[in-house]
């Protein structure tokens, strides 16, 4: 019963965290514009899958590794920053889309899932979610999975909006120059997220 009572406030927390800008949403917008919503789905689902694993792991003690071994956290920040800069460069230099399946490739499910472990916003969400809303009574494993699963159900429409927004923008952009400006802007916004990772 305590688990169910925690789900309402936890859902509101997840809406506020996942509908706001961050590395995932910026990249989903760029992917939606460049590849369309359908081809962006594996990226979107990878975010949800990666966060589910991360949040569950945090509830089961993964966050304590950061406390005991600060070097692990620092290493993840550096790796995440370098990977984000690599993705930002790919976004900024992407040519106008042709929507030909052989040309260009959005992030795969596994790439997006792995990125969550280096994404500081995902860590903040997971640590806050589990510290604030995980019930103390009952089976810890079941509670962790239920809360993490609910969080990803709530997150799905929120992050899907960003991919849909990008897809809509993609229909409005006309000509190579407009696409170049859009991709450079999205690449710069993605690169700017490194400030939050290293800050």
Whether 103 is covered by a domain: the verdict is yes
Q: Which of 186, 137, 164 is nearest to 41 (CA)?
A: 164
What mean pLDDT comes out for the span 42-63?
A: 92
Whether 160 is covered by a domain: the verdict is yes
Whether 92 is covered by a domain: the verdict is yes
Highest mean pLDDT among 19-23, 109-113, 121-125, 134-138: 109-113
Q: What pTM was estimated for this model as a whole?
A: 0.81
Q: What is the pLDDT of residue 42?
A: 97
Which residues form the domain of 147? 2-10+38-198
d(CA 29, CA 194): 18
Number of domains into which the chain is organized: 1
d(CA 23, CA 138): 35
Whether 24 is covered by a domain: the verdict is no
Whether 20 is covered by a domain: the verdict is no
Whether 110 is covered by a domain: the verdict is yes
Whether 112 is covered by a domain: the verdict is yes
Q: What is the pLDDT of residues 126-155, one digit of tens each?
A: 988 888 888 878 888 888 899 999 999 999
What mean pLDDT comes out for the span 22-34?
A: 92
d(CA 121, CA 98): 32
Whether 30 is covered by a domain: the verdict is no
Q: Evaluate if residue 102 carries a pLDDT over 70.
A: no
Q: What is the pLDDT of residues 162-199, one digit of tens each?
A: 999 999 998 888 788 888 888 899 888 888 877 766 66
d(CA 55, CA 44): 17
Q: Which of 45, 14, 41, 51 is nearest to 158 (CA)?
A: 14
């Amino acid at each position: 019963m305590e688990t169910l009572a925690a789900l309402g406030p936890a859902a509101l927390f997840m809406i506020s965290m996942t509908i706001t800008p961050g590395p995932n949403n910026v990249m989903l917008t760029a992917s939606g514009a460049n590849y369309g919503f359908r081809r962006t789905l594996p990226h979107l689902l990878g975010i949800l899958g990666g966060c589910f694993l991360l949040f569950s792991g945090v509830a089961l003690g993964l966050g304590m590794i950061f406390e005991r071994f600060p070097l692990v956290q620092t290493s993840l920040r550096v790796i995440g920053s370098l990977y984000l800069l690599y993705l930002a460069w790919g976004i900024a230099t992407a040519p106008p889309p042709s929507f030909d399946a052989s040309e260009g490739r959005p992030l795969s499910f596994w790439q997006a899932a792995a990125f969550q472990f280096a994404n500081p916003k995902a860590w903040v969400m997971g640590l806050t979610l589990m510290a604030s809303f995980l019930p103390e009574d009952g089976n810890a494993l079941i509670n962790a999975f239920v809360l993490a699963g609910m969080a990803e159900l709530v997150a799905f429409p929120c992050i899907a909006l960003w991919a849909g927004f990008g897809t809509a923008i993609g229909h409005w952009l006309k000509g190579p120059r407009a696409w170049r400006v859009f991709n450079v802007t999205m690449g710069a916004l993605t690169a700017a997220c490194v400030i939050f990772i290293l800050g």
